[in-house]
Chain A
Amino acid sequence: MIIEALIAVTFLAALVVFVAPDEYAGRLAAALSALPILGSLWMWAQYDASGNALLGGSIAFETDVVWLTLGGLDLHWFVGVDGISLPLVVLTTILTTLAIISAWTPIAERQSQFYGLMLFMEANLLGVFTALDFFAWFVFWEAVLVPMYFLIGVWGGPNRRYAAIKFFVYTNIASLVMFIGFIALVFGLGDSVSSMRLPEIAQALRAGELGGFAGLDTATLKTVAFVATFLGFAVKVPVAPLHTWLPDAHVEAPTPVSVMLAGVLLKMGTYALLRFNFTMMPDVATALVVPIAGIAVISVIYGAMLALAQEDLKRIVAYSSVSSMGYVILGLVAYTTYGVGGATFQMIAHGLISGLMFMAVGVIYNTTHTRMVGDMSGIADRMPVTAGIFVAGAFGYMGLPLMAGFAGEFFIFKGSFESTVHAGMPLFTAAAMFGIVIVAGYLLFAMQRTLFGPFSFDGEYEITNAPFHDVAPLAVLLLLTIVLGVAPDLFFGMIQDAVNPILNGGGL
């Protein structure tokens, strides 16, 4: 029942904060959001499960009750975690609290509504990462869009209406495409499944029980469903060329919302890709390895090139997400323990580091009220702590050893070099690795022009060290990045444990 408690407590906290007075909504939200952190850490400490939740492994903290029956198919309230979802649950709870604290400075109006929506989003994100029935999962998946729409639309920058609508429309249409693809699978499976529980569907699909539907034969139906679900999730990830909503959303969103968007929301896409496409339909994934790996490489290189061309610090970090998530796709399609496990690990690492980078940019913006690279120079003189953490975070992004980003990327590259799904995989890997050079390029370039050199600043604001509560979340994230870099096994063991069944036929 710990998962239900976690979700319920977060919902209740959202409600309480929503009606609380503005003066202390931020503090109250931070305090209440500590409860889910404790819960998720307790889950991590007590974690006792093995294997993949979808492929016959044991599931930790499982609840499975019938919700309703429709046309012979049971819809369940079915939640539980395995080695893939638990790290994401921990990431969600920690990052939400840090994002809430980082919102204290920039969010000045309608605060109780802001923090209420943040907590409401956290509750739904927890649902996404723990639900193991397609239906319950989809409810949470879609419910995440609603608070995000408001968070960008109400508290965002000057162009926020356009960005919020674009985000909403893009991801909602993607969800519809994905939904249709998945439902086609369920109807194709016909009587061989009696519910929409993901384990049941995954095992039935792997056992080859799919039939035709609506005039499509089995193979076509499976390919169509794979492409539909892949496209649906790819928008969320996002991969080039479906990424255009992301920079708009990021640039307009206030800092804490960008943190959640990059840190957790993008992981919904890769998590779903892993759970649905690569776990349920490995044969199609293997058959389509060239286009998928191609998309991954294009995302890596193109995203990095776009980042290189930006003048706005936040846009640089935003485009770098497209690039980093490309690595994750590459790891998934490699279909080796290190590839898929590394991709999962990289989701966590990127969540921490991109959160760190967005927060650092936010702290600089709070002080300077500008994000343009050309407007400032040498501000490390005036705000050394922030600058120091920014540099450390950037090194983590570039994949410096002993930081989480290094571990994730190393696993992915190792996995994709060793991959046997396609003869060309080493080539794809080599091309993707070139992305690291560009990443180092744009980050060093940006740092050198803004942080270092002689101090100059086009603006009226006085530049001083940021307040403690602005810097503290950064320090925590940096610490976590280093801890995970030094000891990846805090999560990597359970990740591998859950990933191996995907590669070995799921023990079927």
Chain B
Amino acid sequence: MFDVALQSEPVAAWTAMLPAILLGLTGLVLLGIDTLYPEETSNTLLAAVSAAGSLLAFAVAAWFLVAGTGQEHTGGAISLFGDTMVVDGMSLFFTLIFTVVTAMVAVAAYDYLADHAHRAEFYSLVLFAATGMTLMSMANSLATIFISLELASLPSYALVAFLKKNRGSVESGLKYFLIGSVSSGVMLFGISLVYATTGSLILGDVASALGEGTEMVGVLGVGVLMIAGGVAYKTASVPFHFWAPEAYEGAPAPISAFLSSASKAAGFAVGFRIFVEAFPLGAIPAGVDWVLAFQVLAVVTMTLGNFAAATQENVKRMLAYSSIGHAGYALIGLAALTAGGPNGDVLGASMAHLLVYGFMNTGAFLFIAMVEHWGVGRTFEDYNGLASVAPIAAVAMTVFMFSLAGLPPFGGFLSKYALFFSAIEAGFWWLAAVGAINSALSLFYYSRVVKAMWIESPAKDLEIESRPVGLYAAVLFAGLGTLLLLPGFGPVIETAQSVAAALF
């Protein structure tokens, strides 16, 4: 077995970081291809290399996860570079989300970029961002967390502003950049405050320093709050959510998919690890009740996201706000933690929801990318009658919408159910109730898309000139994933909950 080989001499421990390394290498290879053939870079080759690289990383991560690398039964988390990086079940699980989303985005971008310049840069930026996200999920020190977060963010700023002749894209790129920089600064300051109180950056050492007690509870509290702010920014949670609808709307649609699925999951990976490992509920001083903060955050985020989504006229903005709502659901993973409670179940359910979300939300944004590719328009009215010209894609979009709303028989139903069930199990039935009510309300705006596509008749002649192969492939893949995650949810939730339990 691989996991045995990993701990014996011939294979060095750093090979456990293979998924991240593969992603980074693929990004470099893409740049190399572009350097060799600067004038006539083949879009097909670039997209194929990006998709192959991310799928390879996916396969390796899945293999590690199945083989037990970094999990309890094979000797526990693999710690690297003086404990600043750690490979464990949770980081591998999140890597699955990043890599599969990256692969779908790369395949979809093949069509989206067909008549754009600087294609190689696009693909390599996506892969570098994915590398950053993978590192975020492995980072075990406040310093590496910050650096990997920046590695994920910087390419994202450029990607949002990628359509440089489009004012919306450039404007939202600028907004994203400004808010991102401010949030980074806030988080960095929070990190320095925590360092000041505990004298350490390694998450485990922070926790043990806290366990010995500190006199600067106030400073620590401010630091924790500022770090929470950084996490809230990256996950597009209230009150740091304002950038999200702007950035998602202005960015090229595949990038909206990438940011709202993978980047958000990366934010959660960091949040989960920091708060569980560095500020464990047993050790944190009574004055710093971050669980309460996340409870408030979760309720406000899901409610605000949902109500804002319900009032939109633009489908892309609606999805952007609904993705804020989903951040609220995923925050239950931190909000329903208790000392000694079924914490692994709660956190695992949140991770499993993020995986399902990776499929359904990416698929939904990629469908929007396809509609943009057709030049149909962005409002609900523009979607009228789409099903009559593109029934298969419309079926996939219907699957995404109903799955996002949490309706059976789709994956989103089970992941939401697991989330709310775990919250009730932990004693937070009111949190589950708010989530369930929000979820029921969300059906209203999701079904508007479905209604427009299937039931309304098109106002003008609806002509579709092309059938983009890559976009279709990516959308159908995401749709199939969303469907198959219903019968196949068992291994997902069981893996997620067992790797999450290993954190506590």
Interface residues, chain A, CB within 8 Å of chain B?
Answer: 66-71, 110, 113, 124, 138-143, 145-146, 149-150, 153-154, 160-161, 164-165, 168-169, 172-173, 176, 180, 183, 187, 214
Interface of A is mostly: helix
Which residue in chain B gives the minimum CB-CB distance to A124?
A: B409
Residues of B within 8 A of A71 (CB): 342, 345, 421-422, 425
Known A70-B421, A138-B408; judge A150-B454 contact (CB<8 A): yes
Known A71-B342, A71-B345, A142-B407; judge A172-B429 contact (CB<8 A): no
Q: B199 on the interface (CB 8 Å rule)?
A: no
Cβ contact within 8 Å between A154 and B455? yes
Cβ contact within 8 Å between B424 and A161? no
Q: B494 on the interface (CB 8 Å rule)?
A: yes
Residues of B within 8 A of A146 (CB): 402, 407
Cβ contact within 8 Å between B494 and A139? no
Interface residue ranges of B431-484 to A (CB < 8 Å): 433, 436, 440, 443, 447, 451, 454-456
How long is the Cα–Cα vector from A164 to B455 in the complex, in angstroms? Answer: 10
Identify the stretch in B36-44, B114-122, B485-493 within 8 Å (CB) of chain A at 4 or more residues. B485-493
Interface residue ranges of B389-434 to A (CB < 8 Å): 391, 402, 407-409, 413-414, 418, 421-422, 424-425, 429, 433
Residues of B within 8 A of A139 (CB): 408-409, 413, 486
How long is the Cα–Cα vector from A138 to B447 in the complex, in angstroms? Answer: 20
Q: B388 on the interface (CB 8 Å rule)?
A: yes
Residues of B within 8 A of A168 (CB): 443, 447
Chain B residues with a Cβ closer than 8 Å to the other chain, count = 32
Known A113-B391, A172-B440; judge A143-B493 contact (CB<8 A): no
Q: How many A-B residue pairs have CB under 8 A?
A: 73
How long is the Cα–Cα vector from A169 to B413 in the complex, in angstroms? Answer: 17
Residue in contact with B436 in the complex, picked from A145, A154, A160, A176, CB distance below 8 Å: A176
How long is the Cα–Cα vector from A214 to B451 in the complex, in angstroms? Answer: 38
Cβ contact within 8 Å between A161 and B455? yes
10 pairs from A and B in contact (CB 8 Å cutoff): A69-B490, A69-B494, A124-B409, A142-B409, A154-B455, A160-B455, A164-B455, A165-B451, A172-B443, A180-B433
Interface residues, chain B, CB within 8 Å of chain A?
Answer: 342, 345, 349, 388, 391, 402, 407-409, 413-414, 418, 421-422, 424-425, 429, 433, 436, 440, 443, 447, 451, 454-456, 486-487, 489-490, 493-494
How long is the Cα–Cα vector from A164 to B391 in the complex, in angstroms? Answer: 20
B60: min CB distance to chain A, Å? 26
How long is the Cα–Cα vector from A124 to B436 in the complex, in angstroms? Answer: 24
A153: min CB distance to chain B, Å? 4
Among B413, B418, B455, which residue has the most Cβ atoms of chain A within 10 A? B455
Cβ contact within 8 Å between B454 and A154? yes
Question: Closest 4 interchain pairs by CB?
Answer: A68-B490, A139-B408, A153-B455, A142-B408
Cβ contact within 8 Å between B413 and A153? no
Residues of B within 8 A of A173 (CB): 440
Cβ contact within 8 Å between B489 and A68? yes
How long is the Cα–Cα vector from A301 to B82 in the complex, in angstroms? Answer: 79
B438: min CB distance to chain A, Å? 12
A69: min CB distance to chain B, Å? 6
Residue in contact with B451 in the complex, picked from A140, A141, A161, A176, CB distance below 8 Å: A161
Among A70, A149, A173, A183, which residue has the most Cβ atoms of chain B within 10 A? A70
Known A150-B454, A172-B440, A172-B443; judge A143-B408 contact (CB<8 A): yes
Residues of A within 8 A of B451 (CB): 153, 161, 164-165
